[in-house]
Chain A
């Protein structure tokens, strides 16, 4: 078989134009995407600016008193007679969130270790899927369950803690009513932050250097020995970051706390007593019947909450990011 080879008679095709700048469509496209990507920045600054300007009158009138006193009285709706202070709510938010962290902590560590080092990959996939779903249970359901199912039990636990440990100031109560206490909503919050804190912690634990773990085994260490010597020190910052992310969630949680906590305007550290505070729940509970002046005070409270959660989340994500970067 022969192959006929004919030299091309037509002229060579024109050289393609070399382009070293983007065409018009691309430039518009890049601007458009950039604009879209800045939405989050725009929204965040709008939120901050709006809450600040709406609440400005309150900040000007009360100054630092707004976050250091705890009287909430809209009076006749004029700023001269009204007093607003959210100290009790801020303290209450933090107390409840800290209870949640303390309760959740051992479960976060043990569950993260269990999923990472004690189960087969197949079982782990199933359990992680289930946990993801648990993370999606809406807060209203947690609140409903917390109020109607958990509270009767938790009040009983609180009563026995008070009975045996009542001599510790934070476990004392003035009146023996253990319903709707920071303890109860702390338990509900603990359950709510568990999935997020757990998944962040697990993520960091899973990056623990395998060679060191195997070295620990090779030296005759047990599984717990390897975990204690390698995984826990390695994952410490990830654990802190995960817990802080949970703290951010707990501080901002509204409905579940609203349903399980009795809001009282008094700074208190008696965690078992039926009185607590929460900035987020304050906003949700008051907004329905707020006078225009009280509305401004709520905006100011919203700004306080916004800044608080922003700081916590910022700290948390930078710790997690550092923990993850160290590995690569």
Chain B
């Protein structure tokens, strides 16, 4: 009997020839870059965007040609791959541009006092380094908190109806939630305008009501997904121990899905935090710091951006970008928190 020495198993994906696959990708890319650079200088495809367009065309072309060295099937496969990869990459260009512009144009507006001052004594066109958006940040938080107090319980109740009560109306409720998620934000604003604002005043409470309408479906749908993941055995065990349905829901089901429900709520809040149209119709804008939820307009970050944009002068636009930067940062934070909570529950 002879002993055969087997080579140690290779890590990764041994069936892939890494060197060759890297060469297969990089050669057409390199050729396309060169050709695109030439086209960029010679033809009308000037500028970075022209370069990119030329690159896309040449990349697809060279992929096709390189594929033809094998056969037709391979050539078409390479051609399609080039388009799919490029399509995805292209979609990211505008987003990258948005983020870069935000930081570039918004940064000059931000200074220490930006977060502690309001615009009571500063006009939108005043020199940068005066005024701030404390009133807008506070207003946004106030509106979001009130909207959450209204929408989160209702959203979770809606989800609980579908997963716990499982009544006859489950299908109907789901359709309604679906339809509600399609309500345009301006229509929600118009509704609150007609019912609340036209009778009383622009107010933070009206804004919160409008945002609650927009939040509810997001929370309900995400919460439903979360509650569905609670194992059926837990429910049965609880009933078997003689617990009532109310006790099962409030003391077993909801607590065990807690982190998922927090994520659902956060996503709901993040979705509406940047809504402008409904706030334009409900809480409107004030340049003064206000703690009042009713009786007077309340500032918010999106409306701060909008207001400064409509003024339209250089400093006002910088302020608008600054506000937008702060707003996006806030939403990003909400997202990160939501993701972290969701991630922790998965483990």
Residues of A within 8 A of B (CB): 16, 22-23, 25-26, 29-30, 32-34, 36-41, 43-44, 46-47, 50-51, 54, 106-107, 109-111, 113-115, 118, 129, 132-134, 136-145, 147-150, 153, 191, 194, 220-225, 227-228, 248, 251-255, 259, 280, 283-284, 287, 295, 298-299, 302, 305-306, 309-310, 312-314, 317
Which stretch (B26-34, B172-180, B230-238) binds chain A? B172-180
B64 is an interface residue with CB less than 8 A from chain A: no
Assess A306 versus B183: contact at CB under 8 Å? Given A107-B87, A141-B102, A141-B274: yes
B207 → chain A closest CB, angstroms: 14
CB-contact partner of A51 in B81, B97, B191, B332, under 8 A: B191
- Are A40's CB and B216's CB within 8 A? yes
Residues of chain A within 8 A of B273, CB atoms compared:
138
- Are A252's CB and B187's CB within 8 A? yes
Residues of chain A within 8 A of B190, CB atoms compared:
51, 283, 287, 298-299, 302
B324 is an interface residue with CB less than 8 A from chain A: yes
- Are B73's CB and A222's CB within 8 A? yes
CB-contact partner of A34 in B169, B317, B320, under 8 A: B169
Chain B, residue nearest A306 (CB): B187
Chain B, residue nearest A147 (CB): B309
Residues of chain B within 8 A of A109, CB atoms compared:
87
- Are B179's CB and A310's CB within 8 A? yes
Q: Provide the bound-state CA to CA distance between A38 and B172, in Å.
A: 9
- Are B302's CB and A138's CB within 8 A? yes
- Are A111's CB and B162's CB within 8 A? no
B108 → chain A closest CB, angstroms: 15
Assess A252 versus B182: contact at CB under 8 Å? Given A39-B216, A113-B84, A118-B85: yes
B148 → chain A closest CB, angstroms: 15
Q: Provide the bound-state CA to CA distance between A280 and B277, in Å.
A: 9
- Are A142's CB and B98's CB within 8 A? yes
- Are B157's CB and A137's CB within 8 A? no
- Are B276's CB and A255's CB within 8 A? yes
In residues 18-63 of chain B, which contact A (Cβ within 8 Å)? 49
B interface bracket (residues with beta carbon within 8 Å of A): 35 or more
- 1/0 per residue B265-301: CB within 8 Å of A? 0000011011111001100000000000000000000
Sample of 4 more A-B contacts, CB < 8 Å, known A114-B84, A224-B80? A30-B165, A221-B73, A302-B191, A309-B187
Residues of chain B within 8 A of A43, CB atoms compared:
180, 213, 216
- Are B271's CB and A194's CB within 8 A? no
**Closest CB pairs A-B (n = 10):** A138-B274, A252-B184, A110-B87, A36-B157, A313-B182, A37-B161, A222-B77, A254-B277, A224-B80, A29-B246
B109 → chain A closest CB, angstroms: 13
Assess A44 versus B194: contact at CB under 8 Å? Given A26-B245, A136-B271: no
Chain B, residue nearest A41 (CB): B176
Assess A44 versus B176: contact at CB under 8 Å? Given A38-B169, A312-B182: yes
B137 → chain A closest CB, angstroms: 15
Residues of chain B within 8 A of A34, CB atoms compared:
161, 165, 167, 169
Residues of B within 8 A of A (CB): 49, 73-74, 76-77, 80-81, 83-88, 90-91, 94-95, 97-98, 101-102, 105, 153-154, 157-158, 160-162, 164-165, 167, 169, 172-173, 175-188, 190-191, 193-195, 198, 213, 216-217, 220, 242, 244-246, 249, 270-271, 273-277, 280-281, 302, 305-306, 309, 317, 320-321, 324, 327-328, 331-332, 335, 339
- Are B183's CB and A309's CB within 8 A? yes
Residues of chain B within 8 A of A137, CB atoms compared:
95, 98, 274, 328, 331
- Are A136's CB and B74's CB within 8 A? no
Q: Provide the bound-state CA to CA distance between A299 and B179, in Å.
A: 19
- Are A40's CB and B306's CB within 8 A? no
- Are B191's CB and A284's CB within 8 A? no
- Are A255's CB and B277's CB within 8 A? yes
- Are A254's CB and B91's CB within 8 A? no
Instruction: Name which of A39, A115, A287, A317 has the most chain B CB atoms within 10 A of its CB.
Output: A39
Residues of chain B within 8 A of A54, CB atoms compared:
194
Q: Provide the bound-state CA to CA distance between A140 and B140, in Å.
A: 15
Q: Provide the bound-state CA to CA distance between A148 and B273, in Å.
A: 23
Report 8 cross-chain contacts, Cβ distance below 8 Å, ordered by A residue: A36-B161, A40-B177, A110-B87, A137-B98, A145-B98, A222-B74, A254-B184, A309-B184
Q: Provide the bound-state CA to CA distance between A148 and B106, in Å.
A: 13
Assess A47 versus B183: contact at CB under 8 Å? Given A26-B244, A141-B324: yes
- Are A302's CB and B244's CB within 8 A? no
- Are A136's CB and B270's CB within 8 A? yes
Instruction: Name which of B84, B158, B198 has the most chain A CB atoms within 10 A of its CB.
Output: B84
Assess A140 versus B186: contact at CB under 8 Å? Given A39-B216, A110-B84, A224-B80: no
Residues of chain B within 8 A of A254, CB atoms compared:
184-186, 276-277
